[in-house]
Chains A and B, each alone.
Chain A
Amino acid sequence: MKKERIETILNELTSTGADFAEVFLEDKTTKVFDYIDRKLDSLTISDSSGVGLRIALDNQVYYGATNDFSKKSIKEVISNLTNNINSKVKYENIKLNRLKKYRNDTNTHYTDLDIKAKLKEIDDKIWNKDKRISQVSIILQNIEQNVTIANHTGLYKAENRIRSRIFITINFKDGEKLANIYYSKGLTTGADLLDTIDFDEVIADLIKDGLDKLYAKPCVGKVMPVIIGPGFGGVIFHEACGHAMEATAVADGMSVLSYDLGKSIASSKVTIVDDGTIDKEWGSTKIDDEGCETRKNTLIKDGVLVGFLIDELNDRKMHMGVTGSGRRESYLYAPTSRMNNTYLMPGYDSIEDMIKSIDYGLYAKKLGGGQVSTETGDFNFACDLAYMIRDGKIAESVKSASLIGNTKEILQKVEMVGSNLELGPGMCGSISGSVPVNVGEPTIKISSILVGGEESEE
């Protein structure tokens, strides 16, 4: 869309007195290679493009989206939005700045056929490893998203974002026993993501973990100390406190942490940051979806709550300044404050000491997803792979373990923090849709948490 047309739209959007107006343009191509059942079962190439229009007056927000760029369609959206506002006009004759472009450099040498050959090579290696493998699925996603953001202040910026992510899932079957295990890595880059992975090592780990899971015993449900492995284990902080530090919940007093700024809310071993600037990481962008450059935001420092993640319109209530955290899945969603790459900073405790310190507890080697209520702080996570700890040693694998707790309680119970920080990719769903994020942590020990399991007693 040409600059002059965007200016015209912004002027029409503010014509009834809106004190904020924004145009978000998106053009996206998604390629998905789905290798399953020993063949490239499908390749999907999906194009989408659309426009999202947002206006506000004070704290009331009106949003419209369409993928029909015709004048008639956009005029209808503008009219549906502006009809809600009748105020003194503050902005007239809006002119945009010179377009500022941001790129994420990639160095992809893979053709589609190269990718297919690489996926076949990985698939063959896996099937040859064990007779109990009942299915292998390898999915490679490659997404190119171009966004352009303009608003009533003259802001006019664009970013080209290329992301790739691979998923490997292996199913195992032995008689009536079923289990599956997965691996995932995502980066803000092209298919050269494949060059960053040692697949022999990944496959060996998956086979070992998958077989441990296949023969896992039911987990005992009770309160116990838990060690959580590095990387995706950081989802516990993403869910337990990350969402509660987003302005979406904080600004309206709807977060369990709304009134705790400056207070000690966690063990002194806890420092948590959200950093959208890390080169090539899955949750990184140069600018957020409101056109603000991303940054490294410290949220908890040595146990003290020191910051929130704030988008432009929620800052009208919070007056603390935006943090480059306004994100959305696509033009279909109004943006709001969201995380990028959120992780617990590494500490100095050794993993051996953590395990030795527990007589009876759980080692959650891999966590699955989770969920939190930001208002109450209650959260839950599934353990994808877990082992019992007995007498200071890792013992048998257990299935169906889940962790249930509360934000304020768990943050105070972080007793030991290792030095092996890793990040893990995921998709985070919230009111502005599903956005790519990294979670991360080193290995940690939680002094006690409720573990859910099928067994009632030993």
Chain B
Amino acid sequence: MKNKLIKLAKQEGIELEIYETKTKRTDINLLNKEEKLFQIVNTSNYIIKAIINGKCIKFATGSIKNPSKVIENIKTIFAIQDNDNENNLSKGYINNKEKNSEKLDYNQVKRDLLSLNSLKEKYPEIINVEINYSHYDKGYFIDNENCKMVDEGYYNEYSVGITASENNTNKVSYISFYSKKYNFEEFYNYILKRVESLIKKLDGNSCITKKYDIILKNTAVSDILRTFASMFDTENIMLNESVLVDKYKKKVFSDKITIIEDPNGDSAILKRSFDSEGTKTNYKVIVDSGVFTKRINNVEYALKSKEEATGNAYGVNNLFIKPSDDTFEDLVSKLNNGIIIDEVMGLHSGIDVKSGNISVQAEGLLVEDGKITKGLTMIILSTNIFELFTNVVSVGNDLSKSSPSISAPSLLLNNITIAGKE
């Protein structure tokens, strides 16, 4: 079908390239000991790049089954879009297939997941365990007359919602975890650490509104960084849609913050050697010791900004804050008195990526004299992206695993407002 479409386009005087994302996903959903849903989803989605007389349009579509209709859509878009974008078709040959030597037995996976019910015996406060597991096989393909690129890989996603109850108070902890290979044992150990915190929150309460020294747990830092990831895009900066407008090459964060993207590195859950426009990806330091050193581009905005395309037409992959040496326990002892924030919620509404303001519901633990003394609930983290990444005292060594594309270590911060009810 792809060749037919490329051929038909050529007859119409259109240079055409197809970027396909192929996903095969298997999901298992369990509530306590009951299997609720077993699901298999196979899909392909496409980005079409079309060039007529050196001008380019791009658009996403879910189907290329009807090549004549795709050509008709291309002509409609060319006729109406105010298009002065230059672009080129990709060139080259890449065949990067990650071999998956594992043969997953989904019945064994179900047995592993069901074993999480044993947490109820260890912690009688736990009343419900809801588990979602997904295995992904992903394929990315670029095809045009002179190019064929393939990236294929796989990974596993685990998420669990654990509900604990005491004296008619319910608390839930939602935990996400990603791994390249199926690794239930690591996931289980990861959960155990979070359960301890959940139990402490059962008799927790809020706090007085004031500025605190805090530890922002790695998963919370990763969630916030993920929400702001588009701020580094040249497109958003040039369109005044990023908080980093006028900040390029300037000091924006603490010199303890270095942000790196390594899409094809060994630490990536899913390696990507090219982006959706066929630009090869590479290791890059986006923020170097607090200085915003590298903007990320697709081809269109690389040309507009007279910079190199950086292989980020799809966004970012394996973006992380460079970890330092402190263990989480080291950070807690350095904190001495303050708050550990280990859950942030409602980021899609509580974060304004254009102004940088952050006001999100949070939960955590109170630390007094270097020791965790009680749980905290119904509190709000109120800050902004610049304050958050500037008031950094120490950076942890514990890179999170709660996202397939973005990770971060825990951060010790000073002077951050936490609002509470007390």
Contact = CB atoms under 8 A, between A and B. Distances in A.
B261 to A, nearest CB: 25
Say what secondary structure dominates the interface of chain A: strand
Interface string A161-200: 0000000000101000011100000000000000000000
A41 B360 contact: no
A46 B62 contact: yes
Interface stretch (A145-153, A337-345, A369-377, A439-447): A369-377
B35 interface: yes
Given A65-B42, A221-B380, A404 B361 contact: yes
Interface stretch (B235-243, B305-313, B403-411): B235-243
Given A43-B59, A44-B59, A452-B380, 7 more contacts: A62-B37, A254-B130, A256-B170, A371-B345, A376-B170, A400-B382, A457-B209
A370 B345 CA distance: 9
Interface of B: 31, 34-44, 57-63, 65-66, 69-70, 73, 76-77, 79-82, 128, 130, 161, 163, 170-172, 206, 209-211, 239-241, 243, 245, 345-346, 348-350, 352, 354-361, 377-378, 380, 382-384, 417, 419-421
Nearest to B78: A43
A141 interface: no
Contacts of B357: 399-400
Contacts, number: 222
A370 B349 contact: yes
Contact of B60 (A46, A60, A62, A382): A46
Contacts of B345: 371, 373, 380
A456 B80 contact: no
Contacts of A60: 34-36, 38
A63 interface: yes
Contacts of B377: 378
A42 interface: yes
A65 B60 contact: no
B240 A376 contact: no
Nearest to B212: A456
28 contacts: A41-B81, A47-B61, A59-B36, A60-B35, A61-B36, A62-B37, A62-B39, A67-B44, A77-B40, A112-B79, A171-B240, A179-B354, A219-B359, A221-B380, A369-B348, A375-B128, A375-B161, A375-B170, A376-B170, A376-B171, A380-B350, A381-B346, A382-B346, A382-B350, A400-B352, A450-B206, A452-B359, A453-B419
B82 A381 contact: no
Nearest to A450: B421
B77 A134 contact: no
Interface stretch (A6-14, A32-40, A88-96): A32-40
B203 to A, nearest CB: 14
A179 B355 contact: yes
Given A43-B77, A47-B63, A179-B355, A451 B419 contact: yes
B170 to A, nearest CB: 5
Tell which of B70, B161, B240, B243 has the most Cβ of chain A within 10 Å: B240
B166 to A, nearest CB: 12
